[in-house]
Amino acid sequence: MPVETAPVELDAIDRRIINRLQDGMPVCDEPYLHIANELAISEADLLQRLQAMLDNKILSRFGPMFHAERLGGGLALAAMRIPEEEFDQIAAQVNQLPEIAHNYERNHEFNMWFVIATEQLDDINAVVSRIENLTGFPVYNMPKIEEYYVGLRFPV
């Protein structure tokens, strides 16, 4: 079940850091120093603030995004119908698999949605079977056919 949390207070520098990082990292020898200079802060301050935002769960993840298909891997969106009383237990079982990312509860008949990412395209079906065997519930596999870039950005 979703846990309610108190709103997070960000200062102006943290907001500028988040907004800047959403534009991507520069490809250079010292990308953090480059961004710190853009923001008129020290590289040490940038790194400390970034780590604090990760530690405090303000940011859930910070790292590169890879195109699994270009690397020979597979990517699929999957959904399951899980009884509410079993949701947390099944979510924990699914989340223990290294191929699972972005597992969310939705207010819908299909109430568990997650991404499966594998090193080989053919491994998607094996992961689906493993989840079904592990949980006893069917997985609705929706392999990625085409990617649409929407330029999603969250100004803060």
For 60-95, what is each residue's pLDDT tens digit?
878 877 777 777 788 899 999 999 999 999 999 999
pLDDT per residue, tens digit, the chain (156 aa), is 455 666 778 999 999 999 999 998 999 999 999 999 999 999 999 999 999 999 998 888 788 777 777 777 888 999 999 999 999 999 999 999 999 988 999 999 999 999 999 998 889 999 999 999 999 999 999 987 777 766 667 788
| 81 and 113 fall within a common domain | yes
Domain with 111, as residue range(s), is 68-143
**Residues 19 and 49 reside in one and the same domain:** yes
**Strand, helix or coil at 131?**
helix
Strand positions, DSSP E, the chain: 74-80, 100-105, 112-118, 140-143
DSSP state of 40: T
CATH number, domain containing residue 121: 3.30.70.3460
Query: The whole model's pTM is what?
Result: 0.63
Number of domains in the chain: 2
74-80, strands of its sheet edge to edge: 100-105, 112-118, 74-80, 140-143
Cβ neighbour number for residue 24 with a 10 Å cutoff: 10
Same domain, yes or no: 41 and 89: no
